[in-house]
Structure 1
Amino acid sequence: MSFVVTLAALFFLMFVAYRGFSVILFAPVAALLAVLVTDPNAVPAVFTGLFMEKMVGFVKLYFPVFLLGAVFGKVIELSGFSKSIVSSVIRLVGHQRAMLSIVLVGALLTYGGVSLFVVVFAVYPFAAEMFRQSNIPKRLIPGTIGLGAFTFTMDSLPGTPQIQNIIPTTFFKTDTWAAPILGTAGAIFILVVGLAYLEWRRRQAAAAGEGYGEGHTNEPEPVLSERLPSPALAILPLIVVGVLNKVFTSLITSHYGATYEVALADKSHPIVTQVSSVAAIWAVQGALLAGILTVMAFAFRQVRKRFAEGTKAAVAGALLAAMNTASEYGFGAVIAALPGFLVIRDALRAIPNPLVNEAITVSVLAGVTGSASGGMSIALAAMSDQFIAAANAAGIPLQVLHRIASMASGGMDTLPHNGAVITLLAVTGLTHRQSYGDIFAITCIKTLAVFVAIGIYYATGLY
């Protein structure tokens, strides 16, 4: 019964998200209905002590990143930099390769350490301009951005600084470059198959006479001036964000140490911060601020005319995206605390092959919680010792465990209730009904790549 309750809560939330209802409203409803069936007395305590605690904690940590990312994307748009980059890329690669260009831009940013959510805000103006000029249906933008930002550079390519590639290091005592051959092979598979799928979808739309479309919401404002900034200047803010994110990550840790304590007035109540847990967030915030200032320094006159209205729209978008994701985060925490979740976890332990066991366990838990990092953290916290023991018995290096866990986390996590999916659709002004089918196809390709990597390891022994 507890298992059915957990699945019912998950499917209910996926259903309402797909139908276009607000996840901010229905994520707590779905979670608390499951608690009500399990233990009616626990509903208020779980809502206050778990759902709201996790939801507010997410906002506390990540809302500044959402806000700065939205403002960065807006000033990039208002400055004309997005149109300059899009026009230059189209001239270089041609109208028929617009999707490849967007995928590569997203991949470059995420592999450079920019937050996945920030990439959505930053890349969307480029994508909208390029798809409009190339007359590709707007509904294909989310799948294209998802392929570039949510897949191979998030957790497959060795060395990626995204959290999904960092979490396994604490469990397996590895580093972010673990199993480079398997990671690279998986990344190539995802990129090639994903691009082939998107191109097939584009050709289908073209054959049906479907273009970019009209009457869309959240459309980037057109740049009226024909004199666009140079491409080198236009790409500079993106380079600044990517480079300074790396630089600040090192500088913050070395300057502040693992813990920083300060008392501004009341010496008896100092502010104590665990810098090691927020250094990456501070680095992204600092890099985004620098990126915004770079745009303003070179395009102040273009931006200031519409800065007030533009930033209002950016703030509204950031609030919606952050609250959608935070509500999902609270939902995942409640689901993980239900008895039915333990049934799922224990059933997965029966899979005999160590790598297949790990891949399916992490994929399933990431799907249930709607979070790659959350599902992987839960899976490894509960079962890493079992994975390590089984791998040691089979002679499998822990580097392989790291790479498989990392890649598996970013597969089925992108079900309809996933926070990143909801953010992507909200930012692009599209619905699940319009665009989720392509996101799910990319999700399936990403999940298949995990088993391709497992097959390569068993066939060759290389990792």
Structure 2
Amino acid sequence: MSFLIALAALVFLMFVAYRGFSVILFAPIAALGAVFLTDPGAVPAAFTGLFMDKMVGFVKSYFPVFLLGAVFGKVIELSGFSKSIVAAVINIVGPQRAMLAIVLVCAVLTYGGVSLFVVVFAAYPFAAEMFRAGNIPKRLIPGTIALGAFSFTMDALPFSPQIQNIIPTTYFKTTNGAAPILGVLGAIFIFVLGMMYLEWRRRTAAAAGEGYGEGHGNEPEVVDTKELAPAFIAFLPLIVVFVVNLVLGGFPGVFTGLIDRFYGKSYDLTLAMDHTITTQISGIRAIWAVEMALIAGIITVFIFAFPKLKLTFADGSKAAVAGALLASMNTASEYGFGGVIAALPGFTVIKETLAAIPNPLVNVAVTVTSLAGITGSASGGMSIALAAMADDFMKMAEAANIPPAVLHRVASMASGGMDTLPHNGAVITLLAVTGLTHRQSYKDIFAVTCLKTAAVFFVIGVYYATGLV
């Protein structure tokens, strides 16, 4: 019975998320409903001592990353740099290779630190224009954007500043460059097979005589590429984010980052009345590195686009803050939900079932991707899994002599596996922006989802076959 209660809470949260209700509202309802069915008298204590404690802890650790990422994406958008980047990539690849161009555009922007949601808005007008010119079915645009923005740059490539690559650093005491060889191999796997799939879909449609189509909704205006910033200036903020992140965080096995060199393992902050606060650096250095890198990127955009930003930043920053609050609170609520569920007797059954998977890396992959699929959130599902089971994962890995960096990369990539099920917020946003429906375009998004999931097990296989990290 206790297992069914925990399972029912998970299913209920997935259902309300799929129906479009706020996770911020319903995550505590789902969690406390499970507590009520287990022990009615424990509901107030579970809310204050578990749910709120976990939720606030998540906000404390990760809200600055959400906020700075949203602001960075917004100034890239307001400055016109995003259009310059898109136009430059298209010129390099060639307009005849529409799918490849859009995948690369989305990859460059997300790996440069721009929010996935901003990338969707930035890339769609160009994608529509190129697909229309190439007579490629519009229904293939969401799958193309998903491959570029929601896959290998989000969680496979080392040093990605996306939150899915940051969360594991707190639990496994790693950097966001963890397991660089495995990450790059996983990214190549996803990119190559993803492009092969998209090209197959394009050729199949062409053979059937299907073109771009008519009567589509939300068709964008033709993109005006006049008076865009020079490409080298537009790319500069993305390069700054990458370089500062690398220098501060370090490169695993090659050189130590400046944060470790300056602060060491811990830092004592002494305030008035001899009150000392000790901060353990190992669990937060990757977060600090990304935060400082995003600040450097924002400053760079302002240096080169101040005349334009001074007119639009006030309103734009409000939208960025609102978006960051919503995204971080959604994930934090799911994290609080996970903390409560993990404390229930029924979760012991789930843990024991998962623990029956003898291989620690497969265990991590299955656990994280399952919870990401249930919650419809890569960061939310991974947060729930790691909050409940990170210590168990570490013990299993230590017993098998598996480096924490490999755990990090597997968990990060697994979070971006089954997270893009139909109720995922990014999927819903992508379809809304492109004016398409699940019936028209979700098949291709799901194909990318399956490729991402397969890539996790490909990486696990490579590690066991070669020992590469």
After TM superposition, the score normalised by the length of structure 2 is 0.77
Q: Could you tell me how far apart the structure 2 residues matched to 1:223 and 1:309 are? A: 23
**2:78/2:309 contact within 8 Å kept:** yes
SS of equivalent residue, structure 1 residue 306: helix
Q: Could you tell me how far apart the structure 1 residues matched to 2:243 and 2:215 are? A: 34
Q: Could you tell me how far apart the structure 1 residues matched to 2:455 and 2:88 are? A: 33
Shift of 1:237: 1.0
- The runs of 5 or more residues in structure 2 that have no matched partner are 250-256
Change (3 A) 1:200 1:327: farther
Identify the residue that residue 258 of structure 1 maps to in structure 2. 265
Shift of 1:251: 2.2
Identify the residue that residue 92 of structure 1 maps to in structure 2. 92
**2:14/2:374 contact within 8 Å kept:** no
Identify the residue that residue 285 of structure 1 maps to in structure 2. 291
Which residue identity is paired with 1:422? G
Which residue identity is paired with 1:257? G
Identify the residue that residue 324 of structure 1 maps to in structure 2. 330
1:350-369 maps to which residues of 2 (within 5 A)?
A: 350-351=356-357, 356-357=362-363, 359-364=365-370, 367=373
Match of 1:375 among 385, 388, 405: 385
**1:324/1:423 contact within 8 Å kept:** no
Q: Could you tell me how far apart the structure 2 residues matched to 1:411 and 1:166 are? A: 19
Shift of 1:308: 2.1
1:287-332 superposed Cα distances (whole Å, 9 cap, x missing partner) = 2222122112111122222222222222222222222222122122
1:245-280 superposed Cα distances (whole Å, 9 cap, x missing partner) = 22233223322333333345x233344433333322
Identify the residue that residue 73 of structure 2 maps to in structure 1. 73
Q: Could you tell me how far apart the structure 1 residues matched to 2:138 and 2:337 are? A: 30
1:16-415 maps to which residues of 2 (within 5 A)?
A: 16-95=16-95, 97-105=97-105, 107=107, 114=113, 118-120=114-116, 123-135=119-131, 144=144, 146-148=146-148, 150-153=150-153, 156=156, 162-163=165-166, 166=169, 176-177=178-179, 180=181, 184-199=184-199, 207=210, 209-210=212-213, 214-215=217-218, 226-249=226-249, 250-264=257-271, 266-351=272-357, 356-357=362-363, 359-364=365-370, 367=373, 370-372=380-382, 374-376=384-386, 378-386=388-396, 389=399, 391=400, 407-415=413-421
Q: Could you tell me how far apart the structure 2 residues matched to 1:138 and 1:313 are? A: 29
Q: Could you tell me how far apart the structure 2 residues matched to 1:177 and 1:447 are? A: 18
SS of equivalent residue, structure 1 residue 267: helix
Shift of 1:408: 3.8
The total of aligned residue pairs comes to: 442
Shift of 1:188: 2.7
Change (3 A) 1:304 1:169: closer
**2:173/2:282 contact within 8 Å kept:** no
Q: Could you tell me how far apart the structure 2 residues matched to 1:68 and 1:168 are? A: 22
Q: Could you tell me how far apart the structure 1 residues matched to 2:104 and 2:284 are? A: 28
**1:5/1:340 contact within 8 Å kept:** yes
SS of equivalent residue, structure 2 residue 274: coil
Q: Could you tell me how far apart the structure 2 residues matched to 1:248 and 1:357 are? A: 32
**2:397/2:403 contact within 8 Å kept:** no
Change (3 A) 1:176 1:60: closer
Change (3 A) 1:148 1:263: same
Q: Could you tell me how far apart the structure 1 residues matched to 2:297 and 2:466 are? A: 44
RMSD between aligned residues: 4.0
Shift of 1:231: 0.7
Q: Could you tell me how far apart the structure 1 residues matched to 2:138 and 2:308 are? A: 26
Shift of 1:142: 6.5
Which residue identity is paired with 2:261? S
SS of equivalent residue, structure 1 residue 305: helix
**Once the two structures are aligned, what percentage of the paired residues are identical?**
60
Q: Which moved more, 1:27-36 or 1:194-203?
A: 194-203
Q: Could you tell me how far apart the structure 2 residues matched to 1:234 and 1:106 are? A: 15
**2:339/2:388 contact within 8 Å kept:** no
**2:139/2:436 contact within 8 Å kept:** no
Q: Could you tell me how far apart the structure 1 residues matched to 2:276 and 2:142 are? A: 45
2:466 is the alignment partner of 1:448: no
Change (3 A) 1:363 1:443: same
Q: Could you tell me how far apart the structure 2 residues matched to 1:267 and 1:205 are? A: 73
Change (3 A) 1:223 1:159: closer
Shift of 1:232: 0.8
Identify the residue that residue 425 of structure 2 maps to in structure 1. 422
Change (3 A) 1:43 1:260: same
1:192-232 superposed Cα distances (whole Å, 9 cap, x missing partner) = 2233444566778993645795559xx9x998783111111
Q: Could you tell me how far apart the structure 2 residues matched to 1:105 and 1:43 are? A: 48
Change (3 A) 1:214 1:361: closer
SS of equivalent residue, structure 1 residue 21: coil
SS of equivalent residue, structure 1 residue 277: coil
**2:382/2:411 contact within 8 Å kept:** no
Q: Could you tell me how far apart the structure 2 residues matched to 1:412 and 1:462 are? A: 26
**1:345/1:361 contact within 8 Å kept:** no
Q: Could you tell me how far apart the structure 2 residues matched to 1:70 and 1:384 are? A: 32
Change (3 A) 1:90 1:332: same
SS of equivalent residue, structure 1 residue 261: strand
Change (3 A) 1:383 1:85: closer
Change (3 A) 1:4 1:253: same
- The runs of 5 or more residues in structure 1 that have no matched partner are none
1:390-425 superposed Cα distances (whole Å, 9 cap, x missing partner) = x58xxx9998777655644543355567xxx53675
Which residue identity is paired with 1:20? G
